Chain A
Amino acid sequence: MNRHHIMAVALLVAVALVCTLAAREFVSMYRPDEIIPGPGVKTVGALSKYLGNLIGTSSDASVYYLDSGKPGATVLVLGGTHPNEPAGFMTAVVLTEHVTVLEGKLIVIPQVCASGFTCTDPLEGYPQSYSVQSKSKVRTFRFGSRGSNPIAEWPDPLVFLQYPSGQQLSGNETRNLNRSYPGRSEGTVTERIAYAVMQLIDREKVDYAFDLHEAAPEIPIINAIVTHEKGKDIAASALFTLETENLQFALEMSPVNFHGLSHREWGDRSSVFPFLMETSNPIQGRLRGKTEEALILQGTDEKYKEAAHLGTMRITYELTGEPLARRVGRHLRGFQAILNASMEAAPEKRIVLQGLPTYEQMLERGVGAYLK
Chain B
Amino acid sequence: MKQRVVLLSSLIFFMIALLPGLALSQPKAKFEQPVLITSAGQSADVTIAGMLFKKANVQAKAIALAKATDLDGVKTLVVVAGFSSKGLGAAGISREQELARVKSLLAAAQEKKLKVVMLHIGGKARRGNQSDDFNKMAAEASSYLLVVKQGDEDQFFSKIAAEKKIPIDLVDKIADAVQPVGNAFAK
Contact = CB atoms under 8 A, between A and B. Distances in A.
Contacts of A251: 43-45, 47-48
Contact of B48 (A226, A240, A246, A257): A240
A314 interface: yes
Interface stretch (B11-19, B71-79, B102-110, B120-128): B120-128
Contacts of B50: 236
B51 A253 contact: no
Interface string B123-140: 111111010000000000
B89 A256 contact: yes
Interface residues of B, number: 29
B119 to A, nearest CB: 14
User: Which of B89, B92, B122, B123 has the most C-beta atoms of chain A within 10 angstroms of its own C-beta?
Assistant: B89
Interface in A245-299: 246, 248, 250-258
Contacts of B92: 256-257
A320 interface: no
Contacts of A248: 123, 150, 173
Given A236-B47, A250-B125, A252-B44, A243 B90 contact: no
B33 interface: no
Nearest to A229: B90
A236 B86 contact: no
Contacts of B47: 232-233, 235-236, 251
B174 A253 contact: no
A220 interface: yes
A184 B87 CA distance: 28
B41 to A, nearest CB: 12
Interface residues of A, number: 29
A221 interface: yes
Given A236-B47, A252-B84, A257 B89 contact: yes
Interface in A310-341: 314, 316
Nearest to B42: A253
Contacts of A250: 43-44, 122-123, 125-126
Name A's interface SS.
mixed
A235 to B, nearest CB: 8
A248 B175 CA distance: 11
A239 interface: yes
A237 interface: yes
Contact of A243 (B91, B127, B174): B174
B166 to A, nearest CB: 25
Contact of B173 (A223, A233, A243, A257): A243
A236 B125 contact: no
A302 to B, nearest CB: 21
B40 to A, nearest CB: 15
A136 interface: no
B85 interface: yes
Contacts of B44: 232, 235-236, 250-253
B183 to A, nearest CB: 19
B86 A253 contact: yes
A255 B50 CA distance: 20
Contacts of B127: 314
Contacts of A232: 44, 47
Contacts of A314: 124-125, 127-128
A253 B88 CA distance: 9
Given A220-B85, A239-B48, A255 B90 contact: yes
A237 B130 CA distance: 26
Interface of B: 42-45, 47-48, 50-51, 84-92, 122-128, 130, 150, 173-175
Q: What are the 5 tightest A-B residue pairs by CB atom distance, in nearest-first order? A: A255-B89, A253-B90, A251-B44, A252-B86, A250-B125
Given A232-B44, A254-B90, A257-B92, 10 more contacts: A220-B125, A223-B125, A236-B51, A237-B51, A240-B48, A243-B175, A244-B175, A251-B45, A253-B86, A316-B124
